[in-house]
Amino acid sequence: MKTYLKKLKHILPVFLGIIFISVVGLALLRWILSIQFSVLNIREEIWGMWIPLIFPWIPITLWLRQRLRVLVFKKDREKGSLFFQFIAWLTLTAMLLISQEYLTTATGKLQAITNIDQINKYKKARYYSLQKFSVQPSFRGGFTDVRTSGKYNEHLDFTTYFVVPIINDSLETTEAIPKNWYGIKFGRQISNRISDDKKEEAYETFRKECLEKLKQYRYHDLDHFERAPTSDDRVGFLKAIEARIKQPVAGDDFILLTPVQRSYEKRNGHKLAWIFGAFAIGLSFFLFALIWPGYSEKERKRFLSGKKPRPDDLVDMFRYLIPAGGHFATSIILDINILVYLLMFFSGINPVSANGYELLQWGANRRAEVLGGEWWRLFTSMFVHGGFMHLFLNIYGLVLGGMFVEPAFGRNGYFILYVLSGLSGSLASIWWYHNTISVGASGAIFGLYGAILGLLLTNAFPKEHKRGIFIMISIYVAINLLLGLTGGIDNAAHIGGLISGALCGILIYKFSLKSNCDV
Domain count, the chain: 3
Of the candidates 165, 297, 311, the one whose C-alpha atom is nearest the C-alpha of residue 240 is 165
| Domain assignment of residue 233, yes or no | yes
Please say whether the beta carbons of 423 and 378 come within 8 A. yes
Instruction: Please report how many Cα atoms fall inside a 13 Å half-sphere around the Cα of residue 82, on the Cβ side.
Output: 8
- Do 171 and 254 fall into the same domain? yes
87 and 155 fall within a common domain:
no
Q: Return d(Cα 438, Cα 363) in angstroms, integer.
A: 10
d(CA 503, CA 484): 23
Map residue 223 onto helix, strand or coil.
coil
- In 3D space, the residue among 426, 479, 416 whose CA is nearest the CA of residue 451 turns out to be 416
Measured CA distances, 301 to 16, 246, 311, 331 (Å): 22, 69, 18, 36
Nearest CA among 484, 488, 365, 469 for reference residue 407: 469
**Residue 252 sits in the same domain as residue 194:** yes
Domain that holds residue 101: 2-107+269-306
Residues 449 and 364 in one domain: yes
Q: Are residues 252 and 229 in the same domain?
A: yes
> What per-residue confidence (pLDDT) applies to 315?
67
Residues 115 and 130 in one domain: yes
Q: How far apart are the first and last CA of the chain?
A: 71
Domain match, 96 and 170 both: no
Q: Nearest 5 degrees, angle CA 203-CA 205-CA 209?
A: 115
The 8-class DSSP code of residue 218 comes to: -
User: What pLDDT is stored for residue 21 in this prediction?
Assistant: 94
pLDDT of 273: 95
101 with 184, same domain: the answer is no
Which residues on adjacent β-strands are paired with residue 428? none
Asked if residue 432 and residue 290 are part of one domain, the reply reads: no
On whether both 357 and 451 belong to a single domain, the answer is yes
Radius of gyration of the chain (CA): 28
List the chain pLDDT tens, one digit each, 519 residues.
Answer: 888 999 999 999 999 999 999 999 999 999 888 877 777 777 888 888 888 998 999 899 889 988 998 999 987 777 888 899 999 999 999 999 999 999 999 998 899 998 898 998 888 889 999 978 999 999 999 999 988 877 667 888 999 999 999 987 644 544 578 899 999 999 999 998 888 789 999 999 999 999 999 999 999 999 999 999 888 899 899 999 999 998 888 767 899 999 999 999 999 999 999 999 999 999 999 999 999 999 998 888 888 887 766 656 666 677 778 888 888 999 999 999 999 999 988 787 878 778 788 888 899 999 889 999 899 999 999 999 888 888 888 888 888 888 888 888 888 888 999 999 999 989 998 888 888 888 888 889 988 888 888 888 777 677 777 788 788 778 777 877 776 655 567 788 888 888 998 888 888 877 765 554 444
Provide the whole-model pTM: 0.77
Q: Is the Cβ–Cβ distance between 168 and 136 less than 8 Å?
A: no
With H, G, I as helix, E, B as strand and everything else as coil, classify residue 186. strand
Measured CA to CA in angstroms, residue 373 lies from 421, 443, 496 at distances of: 21, 22, 22
| List of E strands, 276-421 | 294-295
Query: Long-range pairs for 19-23 at CB < 8 Å and ≥24 separation?
Result: 19/91, 19/92, 19/95, 19/279, 21/59, 22/55, 22/56, 22/59, 22/92, 22/96, 23/92, 23/95, 23/96, 23/99, 23/275
- Residues 103, 115: one domain? no
Q: Which of 10, 19, 8, 13 is CA-nearest to residue 89?
A: 19
pLDDT at 514: 55
337 and 281 in one domain? Answer: no
Question: Given the DSSP bridges, would you call strands 110-113 and 127-130 parallel, antiparallel or unpaired?
Answer: parallel
Q: How far is CA 325 from the centre of its chain?
A: 31
pLDDT recorded at residue 406:
86
Per DSSP (E only), the strands in 80-170 are 110-113, 127-130, 134-135, 141-149, 155-167
